Amino acid sequence: MERDAQDGAPALDVQIQLARAQKMEALGRLARGIAHDLGNLLAAIEGQAGFLVQGLGPAEAQRDGALAILRAADEGQALLGRIRAFARGTDTAPAAFSLADPVRSMALLVRPVVPPGIEVEEATPPEPLSAWGSATQVGQAILNLALNARDAIEEKVGGGGCIRIGLESVRAEAAWGHGSLLPSLPAPESLFPIHIEEPVPGRVCLSLGHLARGFRYGCITVADTGPGISAEVMEHIFEPFFTTKDDEKGSGLGLSTVHGVVTAHSGALTVDAVAGKGTRFDLYIPLQGEEDR
């Protein structure tokens, strides 16, 4: 783990950030290839199972088995959708949307699935913050972070706490303290550097990408009062299938999906985790037509 102020080695820091970005790019290429091949196989399975269902009567015992195959194939397609989101592949045409919509809808969706003792707070500005991209993808990223926050709080003794989901408009120059600003928005297919530091013992910070000078962003925050994230875990949080949960509780694709959504929208992300106090994720999505002139 690099520590700029202590080590005094900015060149090494850049090399580490580049290596992390290149690793994520390689994993993205691998994920795209796997998703393509598995997608073809699942399509064939779905087609044949569909024929079986059509040819079997409602009372025939084999019909339940054929329906089970269809349901499993549907679950496989949903999993592939998350892999494609990480790999920056999408079947959804980009469009203008209000960032407040997925923030509000995901907060409503999360409330019924958190146990008693965990409060969900939601705060959005009254004015619409218009972005260009996919409201569905942004909503999926928020949902993944919120469910991770729920699971993190449940790990603490007592299981009580708070999840805060918020949105605000910020200016790049005022909001970004994680390195230099870019002269323009990065292309989704470009490398997004990942920087990790531990400014004080017990606090770990991560930044993905950079903001662009002169732009305004919608900053989506998902914060929790869980146990935080260790430096060792922070090194791997965006890697597909990496998880600290039991196998039956998670696929390890939640945060890799968030990575894909942020890069697909030419945005950036920061994580601030404090041991025993909680973790805060900030997603920065550029606002449409909000470049400062």
Q: Output the tens digit of pLDDT for each of the chain's 293 residues.
A: 444 434 445 555 555 555 555 555 666 666 666 776 777 788 888 888 888 888 887 778 788 888 888 888 877 777 677 666 655 555 567 899 999 999 998 898 888 889 889 999 999 998 889 999 988 889 889 988 999 999 999 987 676 899 999 999 999 999 988 778 999 999 988 888 889 999 999 999 999 999 999 999 999 999 999 999 999 999 988 887 777 665 555 555 668 889 989 999 999 999 999 999 999 999 999 999 766 54
251 and 202 in a single domain? The answer is yes
Contacts of 29 (CB under 8 A, 6+ apart): 87
CATH number of the domain to which 252 belongs: 3.30.565.10
221 and 159 in a single domain? The answer is yes
156 and 52 in a single domain? The answer is no
115 and 210 in a single domain? The answer is yes
- From 41, 56, 86, give the residue that closes a domain: 86
- From 45, 62, 86, give the residue that closes a domain: 86
* H-run or E-run covering 227: none
32 and 111 in a single domain? The answer is no
- CA dist 251 and 240 (Å) reads 9
158 and 234 in a single domain? The answer is yes
236, 249 in Cβ contact below 8 A?
no
Is the sign of the CA dihedral 73, 79, 85, 88 positive or negative? negative
- CA dist 253 and 141 (Å) reads 11
* H-run or E-run covering 154: helix 135-155
Domain count, the chain: 2
Phi and psi torsions of 269, nearest 5°: -150, 145
140 and 256 in a single domain? The answer is yes
CATH number of the domain to which 33 belongs: 1.10.287.130
pTM of the model: 0.72
208 and 107 in a single domain? The answer is yes
112 and 228 in a single domain? The answer is yes
47 and 77 in a single domain? The answer is yes
42 and 181 in a single domain? The answer is no
Is the sign of the CA dihedral 207, 208, 211, 217 positive or negative? negative
DSSP state, 127? S
Nearest to 89 by CA among 268, 261, 286, 266: 261
Residue 223 belongs to what domain range? Answer: 95-291
- From 86, 109, 134, give the residue that closes a domain: 86
Other residues' Cβ atoms within 10 Å of the Cβ of residue 206: 22
163 and 247 in a single domain? The answer is yes
